[in-house]
């Protein structure tokens, strides 16, 4: 029985379409179960309909906020403001504008999305507390506008039959069905059903996005914007889009609210609403798919039912004057939960599952055999690949001409020339502070040169932003590995595909069949890359749990996922032991054999000698020597720059040892 269940689970895991279908079915069943009291003969009580409606409204707003807070790590205290915009705009357009209610609802979402995007454009250069403060101010501002702007003030207490003559609105007619008068409390049965259907659709799209390359791009932004740009993501545009999407989801919550409560008053949309939504995300587990869903249910039940009443009574029995009422108890429970489970309820459970999973998933991997060396298949692949290279070695891929970069009074790179040919490895060496990393940063657009030109295949790239340079065929790794530490090895490699930067939101949301196909291709390629770099069997481990050597291999696999024509490796051997360095050398030779051009910034001279075709030595920002590895490493000026002593005192051609960063 158990074996069958495990087999079944494995089958489901391997079939994404089946898994997604089961997810939607499960959601649908829960929604159906939740709507039954409302649809039964007697009907749902007003109180229960409002609890259910609140759960739906907070849930949809919370999953939208999760894009910002959980994935992109942009803490927004403004989700309540977009909730309010959705509620008021849909009510106002229906009531005062005389719009068809459905059209008014759609327009309300568009208005919220546009306001969200404009706010993002104005504030997205900010991060951390500054961004949170801006969103807090927006929440307060929106509440004040609702209180003080006369046309909206008239909506308070809606439906106000005296002001609007709208005692009983016409039913909404949709697909031949008639929904009971909208915005009118007391007859909410089919309104609840409609809300549940919209909720299931919204959650399905939310899950699709979270698990897609679009979701990965947000997590990349949350980890490091520098990294995200090097994965081909237009960070600014993606943050604006994420804010707009989150705002629309917030507004959907407001639209739900209006339909269920049929009552608008500004106090319902103050800062506590924003706090409730963000708490739902954090309590459930920011960044997880299920977290905000679970968090919303828990927080609304705690706030709106009397589950905590026995605790209040128990305290009162001890002291009539000193006790915590429901809001105080909710606060205390939240603090305790987050103290025990900092990743939230769902995040905490997932963390536990991960802790026990590696042993099972990697039971077939022998720690040292599988871990330290590429598999036999990879070795075989290597032999085939190490046949003569197809590139001529004469095709110029990258040219750097007279590039200069200054930081204040310091010239970090001073008139450097460099040529990298297709399929060749070009090593950049030089003592600490020579300007090597700055040159790599100039090539990938982190800095713009003050003077000079950089061109890839003859096309100038020195004025292009990083994400465009990456998309034109350059990939890189970093001096200190930049990985998604809490995500699996496989997810890290998947984030390297160009799709992370180019997938449109609507395609991620809808997840059309073409996306399933693309996902399968990316996963197959990911498996090949992991085998190539010696990470086979590590797919499901957390990247942060890998050894330093494996982390560097993972960074290389991720960089290779974009299928670059030039790979820049910044000190790939730093922190590796001798065996790991030798393995890295073998990997680089295999990549070179495949025709991949590389720039390697490195201090490890054995590795440089082993893999490079040309070497450029920099010192104090300038090129000191350039040529074949043996010539450059034996150059007395290079020896002197490294050892800090006159080369005359050294025996000619003495092997150069690293003196720094060992
Ligand atoms: N963003 C920056 N702002 C100011 N100074 C910088 C910046 N980046 C680099 N520098 C300076 O530019 C010089 C060159 O630094 P760079 O990191 O390029 O050297 P490097 O050759 O890569 O050294 P290492 O081998 O230690 O990595 C150093 O003096 C450094 O302090």
Query: What is the distance in A from the centroid of ligand 1 to the CA of 525?
Result: 36
Cα–Cα dist 271/100, whole Å: 31
Instruction: Give 541-562 pLDDT, tens digit per residue.
Output: 889 989 888 999 999 999 999 9
State CA 169 to chain mean position distance: 44
Return the residue whose CA atom lies nearest to atom 11 of ligand 1: 412
Query: What is the distance in A from the centroid of ligand 1 to the CA of 161?
Result: 70
The residue among 615 and 37 whose pLDDT is bigger is 615
Greatest CA span in the chain, whole angstroms? 101
Query: How is the beta sheet containing 451-456 ordered, strand by strand?
Result: 410-421, 396-407, 451-456, 459-460
Which ligand 1 atom sits closest to the C-alpha of 438?
A: 18
pLDDT class of 176 with cuts at 50, 70, 90: low
Do 427 and 613 contact (CB within 8 A), yes or no?
Answer: no
Query: What is the distance in A from the centroid of ligand 1 to the CA of 604?
Result: 18
Do 422 and 590 contact (CB within 8 A), yes or no?
Answer: no
The residue among 526 and 358 whose pLDDT is bigger is 526
Alpha-carbon dihedral sign for residues 117, 118, 121, 124: negative
Query: What is the distance in A from the centroid of ligand 1 to the CA of 436?
Result: 8
Cα–Cα dist 541/371, whole Å: 12
Which ligand 1 atom sits closest to the C-alpha of 434?
A: 21
Q: Average pLDDT of the chain?
A: 84
Query: What is the distance in A from the centroid of ligand 1 to the CA of 552?
Result: 21
Query: What is the distance in A from the centroid of ligand 1 to the CA of 439?
Result: 9
- Ligand 1 pocket test, candidate residues 406, 435, 450, 658, most atoms within 8 A of CB: 435
- Ligand 1 pocket test, candidate residues 226, 404, 410, 412, most atoms within 8 A of CB: 412
Give the global pTM.
0.84
Instruction: Give the 3-state secondary structure of residue 497.
Output: coil
- Ligand 1 pocket test, candidate residues 403, 408, 409, 410, most atoms within 8 A of CB: 410
Return the residue whose CA atom lies nearest to atom 9 of ligand 1: 438
Q: ipTM score here?
A: 0.96
- Ligand 1 pocket test, candidate residues 226, 405, 430, 436, most atoms within 8 A of CB: 436
Query: What is the distance in A from the centroid of ligand 1 to the CA of 115?
Result: 41
Do 404 and 452 contact (CB within 8 A), yes or no?
Answer: yes
Cα–Cα dist 541/386, whole Å: 30
Question: Cis before residue 159, ω within 30 degrees of 0?
Answer: yes
Question: What pairs with residue 476 in β-bridges?
Answer: 568
DSSP label of 613? S
Query: What is the distance in A from the centroid of ligand 1 to the CA of 438?
Result: 6
Return the residue whose CA atom lies nearest to atom 24 of ligand 1: 432
The number of C-alpha atoms within 13 Å of 373 and in the hemisphere containing its C-beta is 10
Closest CA to 570 of 230, 334, 269: 230
The residue among 186 and 611 whose pLDDT is bigger is 611
pLDDT class of 626 with cuts at 50, 70, 90: very high
The CA-based dihedral angle spanning residues 356, 340, 52, 198, taken in that order and rounded to the nearest 10 degrees: -50
pLDDT class of 128 with cuts at 50, 70, 90: confident
Query: What is the distance in A from the centroid of ligand 1 to the CA of 225?
Result: 20
Among 13-22, 43-52, 110-119, 375-384, the minimum mean pLDDT is found in 375-384
Which ligand 1 atom sits closest to the C-alpha of 440?
A: 18
The residue among 250 and 270 whose pLDDT is bigger is 250
Is residue 363 scored above 60 in pLDDT?
no
Res 364: pLDDT: 40
* Domains, the chain: 46-305 (1.10.3470), 384-473+566-571+580-648 (3.40.50.300), 474-563 (3.40.50.300)
Cα–Cα dist 487/219, whole Å: 10
| Percent with pLDDT over 90 in the chain | 52
CA distance readout (Å), 424 to 396, 399, 561, 613: 10, 13, 19, 6
Return the residue whose CA atom lies nearest to atom 5 of ligand 1: 407
pLDDT class of 129 with cuts at 50, 70, 90: confident
Res 367: pLDDT: 40
Query: What is the distance in A from the centroid of ligand 1 to the CA of 411?
Result: 10
Res 1: pLDDT: 65
- 139: which residues sit within 8 A by CB, 6+ positions away? 77, 78, 80, 81, 270, 271, 274
Instruction: Give the 3-state secondary structure of residue 586.
Output: helix
Region for residue 435 given its phi and psi (left: phi exceeds 0; alpha: psi -120 to 50; beta: otherwise): left
The residue among 393 and 494 whose pLDDT is bigger is 494
Instruction: Give 398-415 pLDDT, tens digit per residue.
Output: 999 999 999 988 999 999
Cα–Cα dist 285/404, whole Å: 47
The three-state DSSP-derived secondary structure of 545-560 is HCCHHHHHHHHHHHHH
State CA 66 to chain mean position distance: 11
Is residue 334 scored above 60 in pLDDT?
yes
Res 24: pLDDT: 83
Q: Which residues line ligand 1 (CB under 6 A)?
A: 407, 410, 412, 430, 432-438
Mean pLDDT computed over 11-40: 78
pLDDT class of 96 with cuts at 50, 70, 90: confident
Report, in angstroms and rounded to the nearest whole number, the Rg of the chain calculated over CA atoms.
30
Cα–Cα dist 46/31, whole Å: 18
Alpha helices in 67-148 (DSSP H): 79-95, 101-123, 128-148
């Amino acid at each position: 029985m158990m074996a069958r269940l495990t087999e079944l689970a494995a089958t489901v895991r391997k079939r994404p379409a089946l898994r997604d279908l089961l997810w939607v079915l499960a959601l649908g069943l829960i929604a159906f179960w939740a709507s039954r009291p409302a649809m039964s003969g007697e009907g749902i009580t007003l109180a229960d309909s409002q609890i259910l409606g609140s759960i739906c409204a907070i849930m949809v707003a919370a999953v939208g906020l999760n894009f910002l807070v959980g994935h992109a790590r942009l803490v927004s205290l403004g989700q309540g403001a977009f909730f309010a915009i959705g509620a008021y705009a849909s009510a106002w357009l229906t009531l005062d504008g005389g719009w068809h209610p459905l059209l008014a609802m759609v327009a309300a979402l568009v208005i919220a999305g546009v306001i969200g995007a404009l706010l993002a454009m104005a504030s997205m250069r900010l991060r951390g507390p500054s961004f949170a403060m801006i969103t807090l101010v927006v929440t307060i501002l929106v509440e004040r506008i609702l209180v003080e702007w006369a046309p909206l003030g008239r909506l308070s207490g809606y439906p106000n039959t005296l002001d609007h003559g709208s005692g009983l609105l016409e039913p909404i007619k949709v697909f031949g069905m008639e929904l009971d008068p909208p915005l009118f409390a007391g007859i909410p049965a089919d309104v609840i059903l409609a809300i549940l259907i919209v909720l299931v659709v919204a959650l399905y799209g939310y899950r699709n996005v979270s698990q897609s390359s679009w979701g990965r791009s947000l997590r990349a932004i949350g980890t490091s914007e520098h990294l995200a740009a090097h994965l081909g993501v237009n960070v600014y545009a993606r943050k604006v889009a994420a804010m707009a999407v989150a705002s629309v989801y917030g507004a959907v919550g407001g639209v739900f609210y209006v339909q269920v409560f049929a009552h608008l008053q500004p106090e319902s949309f103050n800062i506590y609403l924003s706090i409730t939504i963000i708490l739902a995300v954090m309590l459930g587990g920011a960044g997880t798919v299920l977290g905000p869903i679970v968090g919303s249910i828990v927080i609304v039940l705690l706030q709106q039912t009397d589950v905590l009443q026995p605790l209040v009574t128990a305290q009162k029995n001890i002291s009539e004057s000193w006790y915590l009422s429901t809001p105080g108890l909710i606060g205390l429970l939240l603090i305790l939960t987050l103290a025990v489970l900092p990743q939230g309820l769902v995040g905490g459970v997932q963390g536990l599952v991960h802790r026990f999973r590696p042993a099972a998933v990697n039971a077939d991997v022998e720690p040292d055999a599988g871990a330290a060396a590429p598999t036999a298949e990879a070795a075989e692949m290597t032999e085939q690949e190490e046949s003569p290279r197809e590139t001529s070695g004469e095709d110029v891929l990258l040219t750097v001409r007279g590039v200069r970069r200054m930081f204040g009074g310091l010239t970090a790179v001073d008139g450097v020339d460099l040529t990298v040919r297709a399929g060749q490895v070009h090593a950049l060496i030089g003592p600490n502070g020579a300007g090597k990393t700055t040159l790599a940063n100039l090539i990938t657009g982190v800095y713009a040169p003050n003077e000079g030109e950089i061109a890839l295949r003859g096309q100038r790239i020195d004025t292009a932003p990083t994400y465009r340079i990456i998309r034109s065929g350059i990939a890189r790794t970093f001096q200190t590995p930049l990985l998604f530490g809490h995500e699996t090895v496989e997810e890290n490699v998947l984030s390297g595909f160009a799709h992370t930067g180019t997938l449109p939101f609507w395609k991620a949301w809808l997840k059309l069949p073409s996306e399933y196909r693309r996902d399968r291709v990316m996963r197959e390629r990911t498996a090949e890359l992991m085998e190539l770099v010696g990470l086979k069997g590590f797919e499901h481990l957390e990247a942060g749990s890998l050894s330093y050597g494996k982390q560097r291999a993972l960074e290389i696999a991720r960089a290779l996922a974009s299928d670059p024509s030039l790979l820049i490796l910044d000190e790939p051997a730093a922190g590796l032991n001798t065996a790991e360095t030798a393995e890295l050398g073998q990997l680089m030779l295999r990549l070179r054999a495949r025709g991949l051009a590389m720039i390697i910034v490195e201090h490890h001279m054995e590795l440089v000698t082993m893999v490079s075709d040309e070497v450029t030595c920099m010192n104090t920002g300038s090129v000191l020597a350039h040529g074949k590895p043996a010539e450059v490493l034996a150059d007395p000026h290079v020896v002197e720059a490294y050892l800090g002593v006159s080369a005359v005192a050294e025996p000619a051609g003495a092997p150069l040892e690293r003196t720094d960063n060992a």
